[in-house]
Amino acid sequence: MRIHVITTGGSLDVEYTLQGTFAIGPPVVASLLERARTRHEITVESLCRKPFNLGLAVAALQTLPHGVHIAMSGRIFPAGHARKDRARGSSSDPAT
């Protein structure tokens, strides 16, 4: 299986200071997947610095048909169906 990870930052990439502030650091997904010894061909592309659900995404990809899928707010959406509901602060699928 070939997996292309598009990182957008998130809790794995957060770097905290002793004062309690934080900033999104460089992506760690490649080193995490390397340490996990996954047997998939994985490429990583970094687009921006916002939350991304890595564990959910990798697990879901193993159960979904080939294609483009988006992991957001603990859910998986087909490409083109994920929307951020800013009023609720979560993701939604406009098709449902």
Spatial separation of the C-alpha atoms in residues 95 and 83, rounded to whole Å: 10
Domain boundaries, the chain: 2-92
pTM comes to 0.48
Report the pLDDT value the prediction gives residue 49, as an integer from 0 to 100: 66
Rg, Å, the chain Cα set = 14
Report the pLDDT value the prediction gives residue 36, as an integer from 0 to 100: 83
Task: Give per-residue burial for 67-95: e unless 16+ CB within 10 Å, then b.
Answer: eebbbbbeebbeeeebeeeeeeeebbeee
pLDDT averaged per 10 residues, the chain (length 96): 78 75 77 82 77 73 87 80 70 61
